[in-house]
């Protein structure tokens, strides 16, 4: 029963996520409901993460660090 419920929840989350999978669609669907949709500055976020977050992760996971960095898109 737990697996069945988990699968149903996963499917619902996928449906909801895919319905706003791009910025224009998100604006169209969500602003009509009163939400504010902002476009992310990915490069600025990446820079802050590399400066502020990565050092702690590198220290916490030194044996996996190269693998972690290799997964970035």
Q: Domain ranges in the chain?
A: 1-39, 40-73
- Distance between first and last Cα of the chain: 36
Tell me the C-alpha distance between 71 and 73, whole Å.
6
Three-class DSSP category at 16: helix
Tell me the C-alpha distance between 21 and 30, whole Å.
12
pLDDT, residue 20, reads: 67
pLDDT, residue 13, reads: 83
Q: Is 64 exposed, middle or buried (0-12, 13-18, 19+ CB in 10 A)?
A: exposed
| Per-residue pLDDT tens digits for 7-62 | 999 988 888 777 667 888 888 888 898 989 888 898 999 899 999 999 999 999 99
């Amino acid at each position: 029963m737990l697996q069945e419920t988990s699968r149903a929840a996963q499917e619902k989350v996928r449906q909801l996520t895919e319905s706003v999978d791009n910025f224009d669609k998100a604006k169209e669907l969500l602003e009509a409901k009163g939400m504010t949709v902002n476009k992310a500055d990915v490069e600025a976020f990446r820079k802050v993460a590399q400066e502020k977050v990565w050092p702690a992760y590198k220290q916490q996971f030194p044996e996996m660090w190269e693998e972690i960095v290799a997964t970035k898109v």
